[in-house]
Structures are given as C-alpha cells and as structure tokens.
Amino acid sequence: MIAISNDFLDRYNRAGPRYTSYPTVPYWDNAFGEAEYRQALQTLSQRNDDALSVYVHLPFCAQRCHYCGCNATVTTHESVVDAYLDRVEREIDIVMDVVGGTRHAVQLHWGGGTPNFLTNAQMQRMYGILERHFTIDPRAEVAIEIDPRIASREQIQFIRSLGFNRVSLGIQDFDVMVQEAIGRIQPEALTREIYNTCRECGFDSVNVDLVYGLPGQTRVTFERTLHNIIELSPDRIACFSYAHLPNARANQRRVDVTFMPDHYEKFHLFQMAIDGFINAGYDWIGMDHFARHDDEMAVAARECRLHRNFMGYTIRPATDQIAFGMSSIGDMAHCFVQNDAKLGNYQKAIDEGRLPIVRGMRLSDDDMLRRRVITHMMCNLELPYNLTIADFGASVPELLPDELERVQPYIEEGFLDVEPDRLVVTTLGRFFIRNVCMEFDAYLGQQTDRPLFSKTI
Ligand code: SF4
C-alpha cells in the first residue's frame, strides 16, 4: 500500500474526466445533427470490409438504485420494453440502410440499465434483429451486463444459448448495510448461485462489477467483500469509484452522505482492493480494472496492446463503433455521436423517421492526436515518443512540446519515469493518471453548459 499524506491527496484530487472519450462529452456540439451523422455513416458504407463494434443500450430496470449513474428507466411493464424494441429495430434499419449490407461485427455489447430485464422472447427478438444486419465473428466478444437480482438459472442458460460469451455481473458490495444504503438489496447466496450458473454454462469470461466509496463501506466491510469476490474467482473485476453528483443525478439525493467514506478513506479502500486482487493473482489493468494474470486482457496490457472505448477495455476493437438505443454513443469515421437520453424524445424522433441524435463532434487531426496520446496512457501506462498518427508523421515531443513541459511537475512528483524513448506511468502515477492526461486536453477550461466531472479520488 502506498503511503501518501492527506495534503498530497488533496493537492491532486481534482475534478476531471475519466477519458472514456477524447474530446469528452461535455464539449461535443449540439449543432452536430442528423445530417452530419448520416455523412459519417456514409463514410462507413465506403469501407465495406471493415469490422464494427456494436453497442445496444437497454435502459430498463425494475427500480432505481440510489447510487446509480447510468441512463436507466424504471418500468414494470413488458409492453414498454416491446415499444422500445420497436424503435431500436427501426433505428437499426435506418442506420444500416445508410451503412449498407450486412456488416462484420467483432464486438457486441448490451449495456443498461439492466439488459436481462428483457424477457427471453424480447432478448431473442433483439438478438435476431442484430443478426439480420451483422455477421458476428466467431471470435467476437459478445457481452451482456447482468443484474443477478432478476436473473434465473433458466435465463442465464438462455442468454448463453443466444450466443453471448461474456457476462458482467453487477455486485457493487456484498455487505447488507451497504446494500441498504444504496437501495439495492442483493443476497449474497443469490449472487453466488447466478455466478455459478454462469460458470456451468461455459461463458468464456465471467466478470463482476464492484464500487468503492459507497455509503456504509468501512475497511472491515470492504475487506469481507473483497475476500468473497476473490473466493468467487471471476476472470475480470471492474472496481469503480462511486461518483456522487446529486445535482446531475436526482436519484443520488437519496444517498445519506453522512455514511459515505471521505476521500481519504475512499483512497484507502481502493488501495485495499488493489492489494487484495494483486495478492490473489490478478493484474491491475488501466485505472480500475483487474484481470487474472493469464487472461488475454492482462497479457495485452503487459504488451501495451490494450484499447478502450465506450464499452470498456478491449483487446479486439473495431475502428468504428456503432451504437443503438437511447443515450448510446457511437464513434465512427472520426466522429462521435450521441442519441437522446430521454426515452420519450428518443422514441418520438424514431416515430418521425429521424435519427435521435442530440450531439456529436467531428474530430480534427489535433483531436485525433491527443485522443491517441490520452487513450494510450490510460490503457498502457506509457507515452512512447514515437506514438504518431499517420497524418502527422512526427513524434510526440515535436507535436506536443508544451504539454510535455507541463507534465514536468508530475515527473518531479514521481508520477512518471523518464526513459530515452518514452514516459512511463509509475505505480503512484496510476492513481493520478487522469491528472496527467488533463495536461494533454485542449478543451478543459472552455465553457460548457453540461455537467462536468467527478474528482480523481
Ligand atoms: S444501478 Fe443498475 S440496476 Fe440499479 S438503477 Fe442503475 S442501471 Fe438499474
């Protein structure tokens, strides 16, 4: 465990992006609309042989957890889901009409919300719609997020039979008091049963999601949770920092902040997770993920081949990512696009024959360069000086000399080691990697009317 003082932590605990994209969403343009999106899709249509990553957002949940930061919609009616799937099907038809033909997919991800809120018939329908438009590569990562509370043995078997080969189980914390504090009661026995069923069904990868910094978490409770997770032995673990943003997320106003660990304690909890998982044979991946030492993701990270997109870390990314459903984000032909996050607006746009895009951005060459630098650092914890993009044909020191000057204090602080051909992020620097990346961000500080970012810790 790294010993750092509270003063040190305060100095670097700054609000900043998690860099799931660069430029980050708050700086995308509301004027980037359907015409621009269609243009990007047409570019894709000219690259027929290129494989795609495909994301589908399935926002429904039975109830809203207090801590939730996702774009989720509560419903109890199957018909609401059917009506949504009608619109997603229509959206896919419109988009694929422009893209043309059946496309090859190397990554397919259903996120939410709670994708397994769908009935088997609804899941079959959704999968069938995708199969009509995409040929799913036999080696594709076909992943789904699962809420164990509403899963059953029969449902998991069905999901596997559809073609999914990866599952992520939402656990967050095993402690009952914490579960009560976040409005998500999930008996441990039930989680274990669903986990074991996933194993029996032969998924290539069974992963779990944890959250640290939740109300009610203490060193004692978290130690128990970590112990139980390690005992389960998932292939990969995502250990997310809880971002408390009650002004942007009304449901989080139900979180009793008096029970929330402060950021010093939160930092300690995260370090407990790192130590626990590393001692149990996992590699620490990127900022907050862990994978078994022999998992292909851990191997890719050691070989600096890891990538990251809106679906998370991946080793088999397509150049272009196409996304469907409310709030979903696509990334294609050097453009980002985002759909409307309000269910009613999303559906209305589709009913009117419009694509439901609300913002986007066409990346400049400078954006592409900085994106490459930031993504590579976030994934592979190094900045090779020869990391170039084709159009520039020059090295990082030639292209970004001011930025390299600005990271000097981080070198002196011990966040970065200097090697002849690159900067390497140290163990201490991993905790503050967002701070380092922020020095390469050309947009931070510019005015935006959208909610900004959570703090580093
Ligand atoms: S945390 Fe998951 S299950 Fe809970 S409301 Fe959010 S998306 Fe739904």
Query: How many domains are there within the chain?
Result: 2
pLDDT the model gives residue 452: 61
On whether the CB atoms of residues 287 and 425 are closer than 8 A, the answer is no
Nearest CA to ligand 1 atom 2: 113
Residue 11 lies in a domain: no
- Residue among 61, 191, 251 whose CB has most ligand 1 atoms within 8 A, to mutate: 61
Distance 368 CA to ligand 1 centre (A): 33
Residue 337 lies in a domain: no
Both 307 and 413 in a single domain?
no
- Residue among 63, 65, 252 whose CB has most ligand 1 atoms within 8 A, to mutate: 65
H or E segment at 4?
A: none
Quote the domain boundaries for residue 393: 364-442
- Given 301, 321, 341, which residue is the final one in a domain? 321
Residue 388 lies in a domain: yes
Both 41 and 139 in a single domain?
yes
Distance 12 CA to ligand 1 centre (A): 30
List the structure tokens of 325: 């459903």
Question: What is the sign, positive or negative, of the torsion defined by CA atoms of 42, 48, 53, 56?
Answer: positive
- Residue among 68, 110, 149, 186 whose CB has most ligand 1 atoms within 8 A, to mutate: 68
pTM for this prediction: 0.95
Both 270 and 371 in a single domain?
no
Both 97 and 190 in a single domain?
yes
**Ligand 1 pocket residue status of 141, Cβ below 6 Å:** no
Q: What angle, rounded to 10 degrees, do the helices at 188-201 and 153-162 form?
A: 30
Residue 402 lies in a domain: yes
- Given 263, 294, 321, which residue is the final one in a domain? 321
* Cα-trace Rg, the chain: 22
Both 316 and 373 in a single domain?
no
pLDDT tens string, the chain, 457 residues long: the values are 888 899 999 999 888 899 999 999 999 999 999 999 999 999 999 998 899 999 999 999 999 999 999 999 999 999 999 999 999 999 999 999 999 989 999 999 999 999 999 999 999 999 999 999 999 999 999 999 999 999 999 999 999 999 999 999 999 999 999 999 999 999 999 999 999 999 999 999 999 999 999 999 999 999 999 999 999 999 999 999 999 999 989 999 999 999 999 999 999 999 999 999 999 999 999 999 999 999 999 999 999 999 988 888 988 778 899 999 999 999 999 999 999 999 999 999 999 999 999 999 999 999 999 999 999 999 999 999 988 766 677 889 999 999 999 999 999 999 999 999 999 999 999 999 999 999 999 999 887 766 666 777 7
- The residues that bridge with 337 in the sheet, in sequence order, are 330, 360
Residue 243 lies in a domain: yes
Both 75 and 133 in a single domain?
yes
Beta-sheet strands, E only, within 205-297: 205-212, 236-241, 282-285, 289-292
Both 307 and 369 in a single domain?
no
Both 289 and 414 in a single domain?
no
**Ligand 1 pocket residue status of 172, Cβ below 6 Å:** no
Question: What is the sign, positive or negative, of the torsion defined by CA atoms of 231, 234, 238, 242?
Answer: negative
Q: How far apart are CA 185 and CA 178, in angstroms?
A: 9
**Ligand 1 pocket residue status of 64, Cβ below 6 Å:** yes
Return the ligand 1 atom nearest residue 184 CA.
4
List the CATH number of the domain containing 67. Answer: 3.80.30.20
